[in-house]
Structure 1
Amino acid sequence: MSVLETTRHGDIHELRLSRPPVNALNPELVGALREAVKEAPGQGARGIVLSGHAGMFSAGLDVPTLLQLDRVAMGAFWMEFMGLCEALGRCPIPVVAAITGHSPAGGAVLTLYCDYRIMARGEFRIGLNEVQVGLVVPEIIQAAMRRLLGAHRAERLMVAGAMVDAEEAHRIGLVDELVDTELVVGRAISWLRELLAKPPQAMSETRRIARADLHAEFDRVADISNEVFADRWFCDEAQTVLKDMVAKLKAKRG
């Protein structure tokens, strides 16, 4: 069964995360999504919608699976995940995040590199809560968060590992629009159609210039070290907190 579903709405391709129950990001899903984002322009797409299912965009990294990886495999996964973020950030066509529900940690990270973010209205939450689970938010992700929120607000949220509800996310600019859950994908498609109706050369070149700062972050850290991430992932504090979190989740489900 595919972990990623592609639906073509004319020249807009919807890439829907399809890994129940929470669209956790494991190596298979991250690899499939990275490939799909990179291939979409060559397959006739002029815009991409990245979506989840009602109530859940993505719960972030698949921690139970990733805890089973050794240092080499975890480093390879991290490079693949950063490659996915770069594919979104450098995508030559606009990408809209259709945030159909909760979006913590890695789920929120993906939305930072999209052009526009439309979130489901309601009691859904979004944010970079890495600190709460013993992980460091890497600089390249912090830079993307600062780009949206400004340095001080981004710092406060990331250092606290804060999750905010949809209304607050909209108020502070972490998302651009709120609509009812069932309308999120449709509104994302409509937003893209409005953008794609502009004179294409002028729009595309202006977009390229406007996103140059985002591209520059990837250029600046072209040698993103998986060793640094691995050191942080395998440190005693992170492993203790992550394993405790997984144990509590298992107990809750059982």
Structure 2
Amino acid sequence: MAIETFRHDGDIIEIRLARPPVNALDPELCDALRNAIAGAVTGGAKGLVLSGSPKVFSAGLDVPHLLSLGDDRSALSADWGAFFDAARALTNSPVPVVAAITGHAPAGGCVLALCCDYRVMAKSEDPTRPFRIGLNETQVGLVAPAGVQQLMERTVGKHRAGVLLATGALVDAERALAIGLVDEVATADQTVARAVAWLQSLLSLPSAPVLKTRAIARADMIAAMSPESIQLDRFIDAWSEPDTQAGLKALVARLGK
């Protein structure tokens, strides 16, 4: 089962990514996430929590699967399209969504978190192995689409986003909090509870003003994730470039060790 759902406080639905071992985002998981969001809203949810597994929120796209597609442009477009459709489902959600970042959230995992209204990140119990979050695309030979870069810019500021994006840096939970990439840091066992508590506080306010204000505040996010801003064809064009393929294959080699 790629997705698990839980009900909190009646009107809050937790959608948990559940694809062991690292919640790699393949088309099945992305489609399941999109359907779970739609189903929860249709079912009357007033707020959503997006969570992951202990120690890993999501490690991003399933790179070994993507590389297995070779030069099949149609398949690559479909798989990447499924991911961006899932991200848009979060961005376009008519109800607030909180990311309960239960562990590492690089690349696509970070994108999903950036599409949410609020982010609570777990702090690792082992200080020598902190959980990290960020858009590390350049480290594996990719260029984050303009729309994704805009999400980072609106969250941490243009200059800091530029540095983080160019270097592909992953930051730990405390640093992420300091720069505004996440809104709270919690212990691992309290991450989902803190996400639910924030939603409960928000939902206690007059509904119509909150939702109208939220729609205005998030209009730029919706524009950033539009197909025009993502430019999937251009992204797929770059997929076969030598630097990109070398970086991705090196990543898979490291994962296999």
Same structural fold, with TM-score higher than 0.5 when normalized by the shorter chain: yes
Name the structure 1 match of 2:65.
65
Q: 1:82 aligns with which of 79, 84, 95?
A: 84
- Asked if the contact 2:148/2:225 (under 8 Å) is kept, the reply is no
Name the structure 1 match of 2:127.
none
Q: How do 1:9-158 residues align onto structure 2 when only pairs under 5 Å count?
A: 9=8, 10-69=10-69, 70-122=72-124, 123-158=130-165
Q: Deviation at 1:205?
A: 0.9
TM-score by length of 1: 0.95
Q: Deviation at 1:248?
A: 2.6
Name the structure 2 match of 1:236.
242
TM-score by length of 2: 0.94
Cα deviation 1:126-162 (Å, max 9, x = unaligned): 1100000000011000000001011000000000000
For the residues of structure 1 that align with 2:186 and 2:224, how far apart are their CA atoms?
Answer: 31
Q: Which runs of 5+ in 1 are unaligned?
A: none
Q: Deviation at 1:66?
A: 1.0
Q: Deviation at 1:41?
A: 1.2
Tell me the number of residue pairs that the alignment of Structure 1 and Structure 2 aligns.
249
Question: Which secondary structure state, in structure 1, belongs to the residue aligned with residue 105 of structure 2?
Answer: strand
- Asked if the contact 1:6/1:14 (under 8 Å) is kept, the reply is yes
Q: Percent identity?
A: 54
Question: Which secondary structure state, in structure 2, belongs to the residue aligned with residue 126 of structure 1?
Answer: strand
Cα deviation 1:74-119 (Å, max 9, x = unaligned): 1111122111111111111000000001111110010011000000
Q: Deviation at 1:233?
A: 1.4
Q: Which runs of 5+ in 2 are unaligned?
A: 125-129
For the residues of structure 2 that align with 1:209 and 1:56, how far apart are their CA atoms?
Answer: 32
Q: Deviation at 1:224?
A: 4.5
